[in-house]
Structure 1
Amino acid sequence: MAKEIERKFLIDLKLIGDLPDGKLISQGFIGTNDKTVVRARIKGDEAFLTLKGEVTGFTRSEFEYQIPVDDATNIIKELCSGGVVEKTRYEIIYENHTWEIDIFHGQNEGLVVAEVEVQSESESVSLPKWIVEEVTGDPKYFNVSLLSNPYSQW
């Protein structure tokens, strides 16, 4: 079974310096009746359909499949309720880990988070100086939550 083990942090952009080229991400979510997530995402010129299980600690099941961009566009338009979450993602390598820096747009403008995937929950991660606070497991920072409770309304 595919697993995603991920930690999430708030960051101070002023401490990062210049970011590499980023990719615009637009994603919508199909409603579920439990704590699972079904997401359609367009990332640059690629698209994905992702199914995620309930989070336990900072681990959850994740199944991701590349799909045609036209299919993702139609899934988001026809099947995803609540609009889209838009952000630009930048990747930075720090101490042998790839950090994904997400700068949100639209109703979530001003929110900036960093995510890092690890091999196990006990894996040690060196934190860059630009980390401000860990928010792993706080549901208000889940992308699906940002649709119904956007950062601009906190």
Structure 2
Amino acid sequence: MGIEIERKFLLVGDDWRALGEPVLVRQGYLTSDPVRTVRVRIYGEQGFITIKSKSEGASRGEWEYPIPTQDASELLDRLCERPLVEKYRRRIEHAGFTWEVDEFLGENAGLVVAEIELPSEDAVFERPDWIADEVTGDKRYYNSNLIRSPYSTWTQPR
């Protein structure tokens, strides 16, 4: 079993925009149940299917497999819950870690989140200047929740 240890942060400023090439990501969920999610994604030109268990702290089980892009496209168009999540992702190297910055589109436009995968929950890492508040435990920022409650519908301050 794979384990994903991931922390999420909001961003400040625009310095991150000059770092990393944006890649279009289209993703949807065959199930977005909080106990288990099954995600279909097209990242650039490659399709993937990913199964994730419920989060415990910043950790959860994760199994990801490449699938034919045409199959991923059909699953996204025909079977996934709506709306789909679409975003541009930049992978940015900083102080020995890779940050993934997601700039959301569509109903989630205006939301920008950075994620870092860590080797352990207590791993020490350096934050780039463009990293702001941590939102790891805030379920609103889970991609699987953005289909039920898109960013454009949030009434609380962002």
Unaligned runs of 5+ in 2: none
**Aligned AA (2:27):** Q
Conservation of the 8 A alpha-carbon contact between 1:29 and 1:81: yes
Residues 31-58 of structure 1, C-alpha deviation per residue, up to 9 Å, x if partnerless?
Answer: 2555211000001100100000000000
Conservation of the 8 A alpha-carbon contact between 1:55 and 1:137: no
Residues 87-139 of structure 1, C-alpha deviation per residue, up to 9 Å, x if partnerless?
Answer: 00001111100000100000100000000000000101111111110000211
- Which residue of structure 2 aligns with residue 137 of structure 1? 137
- Which residue of structure 1 aligns with residue 106 of structure 2? 106
SS at structure 2 position matched to 1:75: helix
**Matches of 2:21 and 2:117 in 1, distance apart?**
20
**Aligned AA (2:80):** C
- Which residue of structure 2 aligns with residue 19 of structure 1? 19
TM-score (norm 1): 0.95
- Which residue of structure 1 aligns with residue 123 of structure 2? 123
Unaligned runs of 5+ in 1: none
**Aligned AA (1:146):** L
**After the TM superposition, which of the residue ranges 62-71 and 72-81 deviates more from structure 2?**
72-81
- Which residue of structure 2 aligns with residue 83 of structure 1? 83
**Matches of 1:58 and 1:105 in 2, distance apart?**
25
**Aligned AA (1:122):** D
- Which residue of structure 1 aligns with residue 65 of structure 2? 65
Structure 1 runs of 4+ aligned residues shifted over 4 Å read: none
Q: How many residue pairs end up in the alignment?
A: 154
**Matches of 1:118 and 1:62 in 2, distance apart?**
14
**Aligned AA (2:121):** E
Instruction: Report sequence identity in percent.
Output: 44
In structure 2, relative to structure 1, the CA distance for the partners of 1:34 and 1:18 (3 Å cut) is: closer
- Which residue of structure 1 aligns with residue 30 of structure 2? 30
Conservation of the 8 A alpha-carbon contact between 2:81 and 2:147: no
**Aligned AA (1:48):** F
In structure 2, relative to structure 1, the CA distance for the partners of 1:135 and 1:152 (3 Å cut) is: same
TM-score (norm 2): 0.93
**Matches of 1:36 and 1:142 in 2, distance apart?**
13
- Which residue of structure 2 aligns with residue 74 of structure 1? 74
